[in-house]
């Protein structure tokens, strides 16, 4: 069975209907690209799947359990243990060094300080930003900060990584490097990825693509069948 199954999601902000019956599923280890015009509901869908936003109606099941009705506290706990989240602008904690930012999810999960710092260093090294370990986010380039954010999203070995335009603020070469790193790391660790993007080059990294239009999933095609068959 899929790792995540969302059915008939509806979500309105005042009169704006961001989602109008969107359904989507995600397999374990699958890399899913979510595309569609600005305002089509991509971020809202991702936020519903990740338990950040509660839909007005419809359901979200994760690993066989309904999560849309869980309390805020239990959804926060679930995000901490099972999900990694990566935004367009890393949202690193500005007062903390790169190392402390990456170690934080491990500390919150109960790791000891020394072990957390060792593991955080390993991930910084893996993503080519070990040299920035002691810098604060404001002292790094955008690409470096996004690599640190990526390390923070992956350090706990999440079952699912949710990435909302993770390369949107980067130049195309840096963006491609960050994307390659994300996809390789996810494949190595078996994490599934839900990836919002405007960029066709980015969605080419995905196993499957869903296209949103006006809050509804318009197409849900296996990437290979859609693009590589004749
Ligand atoms: P996308 O990610 O595809 O750009 P969003 O999910 O961000 O789409 O937004 C869908 C629609 O819902 C847009 O019209 C947006 O302005 C609106 N919207 C999203 N979040 C909010 C919010 N917190 N408050 C009010 N309107 C929102
Ligand atoms: P995206 O690049 O994903 O389309 P947006 O710039 O539309 O992102 O939205 C960024 C954040 O602002 C999101 O958390 C979204 O929920 C919120 N948001 C979007 N539109 C509105 C709105 N009209 N009013 C309030 N919040 C909004």
The tens digit of pLDDT for each residue in 213-222 reads 999 998 765 5
Contacts of residue 13, defined as CB under 8 A and 6 or more positions apart, other chains included, come to: none
Cα 165 from Cα 195, distance rounded (Å): 7
Give the count of beta carbons closer than 10 Å to the beta carbon of residue 171: 10
User: Which residue owns the Cα nearest ligand 2 atom 9?
Assistant: 43
Whether 226 shows a pLDDT value over 60: the answer reads: no
Residues with Cβ within 8 Å of residue 102, at least 6 apart in sequence: 120, 123, 124, 148, 151, 152, 155
Q: Whose CA is nearest to atom 15 of ligand 1?
A: 39
User: Does residue 228 register a pLDDT over 50?
Assistant: no
228 lines ligand 1 (CB under 6 A): no
Q: How much distance in Å is there from the Cα of 175 to the middle of ligand 1?
A: 24
Q: What is the pLDDT of residues 19-41, one digit of tens each?
A: 999 999 999 999 999 999 999 99
Q: Residues with Cβ within 6 A of ligand 2?
A: 38, 43, 164-165
Q: How far is the CA of 104 from the centre of ligand 2 (A)?
A: 27
Q: Bridge partners of 86?
A: 163
- Closest ligand to the CA of 40: 1
Q: For residue 190, give every residue at least 6 positions away whose Cβ sits within 8 Å of its Cβ, in sequence order, or none.
A: 28, 29
Q: Measured between alpha carbons, how far is 216 from 6 in angstroms, rounded to an integer?
A: 12
Q: Which of 41, 48, 165 to mutate to test the pocket of ligand 1 (most atoms within 8 A of CB)?
A: 41
Predicted complex ipTM: 0.71
Task: Tell me what the mean pLDDT of segment 184-200 comes to.
Answer: 89
- Candidate from 14, 43, 52 with most ligand 2 atoms within 8 A of CB, to mutate: 43
Nearest ligand 1 atom, CA 212:
3
């Amino acid at each position: 069975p899929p790792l995540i199954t969302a059915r008939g999601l509806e979500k309105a902000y005042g009169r704006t209907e961001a989602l109008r019956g969107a359904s989507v599923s995600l397999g374990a280890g699958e890399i899913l690209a979510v595309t569609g015009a600005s305002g089509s509901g991509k971020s809202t869908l991702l936020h519903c799947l990740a338990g950040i936003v509660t839909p007005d109606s419809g359901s979200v099941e994760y690993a066989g359990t309904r999560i849309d009705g869980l309390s805020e506290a239990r959804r926060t706990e679930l995000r901490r243990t099972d999900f990694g989240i990566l935004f367009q602008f890393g949202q690193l904690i500005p007062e903390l060094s790169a190392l402390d930012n990456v170690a934080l999810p491990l500390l919150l999960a109960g790791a000891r300080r020394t072990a957390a710092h060792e593991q955080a260093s390993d991930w910084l090294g893996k993503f080519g930003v070990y040299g920035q370990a002691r810098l604060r986010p404001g002292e790094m380039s955008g690409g470096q900060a996004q690599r640190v954010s990526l390390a923070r999203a992956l350090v706990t070995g999440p079952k699912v990584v949710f990435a909302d335009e993770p390369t949107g603020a980067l130049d195309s070469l840096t963006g491609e490097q960050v994307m390659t790193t994300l996809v390789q790391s996810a494949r190595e660790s078996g994490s599934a990825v839900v990836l919002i993007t405007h960029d066709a080059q980015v969605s080419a990294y995905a196993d499957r693509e869903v296209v949103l239009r006006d809050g509804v999933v318009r197409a849900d095609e296996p990437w290979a069948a859609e693009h590589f068959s004749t």
